[in-house]
Structure 1
Amino acid sequence: MKPSFEFAAGLEPWESKPNVYFLQVPSDVGASVKEIPTPPRGFGSIAVEVTIGTTTWNTSIFPISSEGDSFFLPVKMAVRRAEGLELGDVAEVTIQLV
């Protein structure tokens, strides 16, 4: 089983696409993720299984080039609705590398 990481982050809009929301993976978690060998993927993304509340889904985290070890985690509308998340809400997140 691959490692998992827990963190809390606020839901933010994507600047160029305000209907797309994401959570920023903290740099300490991102640094730990980067230390684990993963198969190469487009845009430097890393495949993860995410759990927020009672919702679990598979997606990818993407590096934030201006933030060093940080990644962003897109949060689709179905998850936001299921968990009652709105802009600015803080979510408790578990990511597991897949």
Structure 2
Amino acid sequence: MAWEFEAELIEWRGPAPFVFAPLPVELFAEVKEAARGLMYWGQIPVIATIGGTEFDTAMWPKDGRFLLPIKVAVQRAERIDVGDVVIARVRLPDERD
């Protein structure tokens, strides 16, 4: 199963600044249920696509939704940054289109 969503990229400052695409709140339960058995420490491994760039990462929960981290290489390849609105697609790693 894959999920496609539109998100405004946000920054969250932890030990270093990271850019994230927050999944819509209404997808939280569905994604969590589909990822049963794949979750570790609350994180879900996914294969994500933004524009023409596909990448592996892990989403984690925050404030009742999942955050999709956007790697610097993806930000550069797609010329995106905090405040930009993107269409993102995520799927679980054991699933094919």
TM bucket by the smaller chain?
0.7 to 0.9
Matched, 1:89 2:89: no
Matched, 1:48 2:81: no
**TM-score normalised per structure 1:** 0.85
Structure 1 CA distance, aligned partners of 2:5 and 2:35? 21
Q: 1:4-43: CA deviations, max 9, x gaps?
A: 0010111111133563111111111222101224325432
Secondary structure in 1 matching 2:58: strand
- Written as runs of structure 1 = structure 2, the 5 A alignment for 1:26-45 is 26-45=24-43
- Written as runs of structure 1 = structure 2, the 5 A alignment for 1:1-98 is 3-17=1-15, 19-64=17-62, 67-68=63-64, 70-98=65-93
Secondary structure in 1 matching 2:59: strand
Structure 2 CA distance, aligned partners of 1:92 and 1:40? 24
**TM-score normalised per structure 2:** 0.85
**Structure 2 residues not aligned, in runs of 5+:** none
Superposition misfits of 4+ residues, deviation over 2 angstroms: 15-19, 37-43
Bigger share in strand: 2
**Structure 1 residues not aligned, in runs of 5+:** none
Report the CA distance between 1:72 and its aligned residue. Answer: 0.7
**Matched positions, count:** 93
Identity of aligned residues (%): 37
